[in-house]
Amino acid sequence: MPTFLDSHPMGPVEEEALKQAQKSPTDEFGITHKNILYNKQENKVFCILDAPNKEAVENSHQKLGMKCDWVIEVQTTA
């Protein structure tokens, strides 16, 4: 499964909601959260996800009312 990195505004989302998202099972779009990084002061969230494709990442975020600034496929050294 490919891995993707995306960025979007944090908005009103709280840290606890991000922790719950990371623990959630694979969603209807085939998305599994590997890690979520955020900076509340900068209003930024970066998600590292396993997903079938870029469109699945965008659709999953859209369903939650979030629009990604960008989504890129990435590789990991781990």
- Domain CATH code at residue 51: 3.30.70.3090
Confidence of residue 77 (pLDDT cuts 50, 70, 90): confident
Residue 60: half-sphere exposure toward Cβ, Cα within 13 Å: 25
Distance between CA 60 and CA 63 in Å, rounded?
5
Q: How many domains is the chain built from?
A: 1
**Residue 64 pLDDT exceeds 90:** no
Instruction: State the Cα angle at 13 between 12 and 14, rounded to 5°.
Output: 115
Phi, psi of 68 (to 5 degrees): -70, 135
Range of the domain at 56: 3-74
Question: Which has the closest alpha carbon to 17: 69, 59, 49, 64?
Answer: 64
Confidence of residue 5 (pLDDT cuts 50, 70, 90): very high
Residue 72's DSSP bridge partners are 5
Rounded to two decimals, what is the model's pTM? 0.91
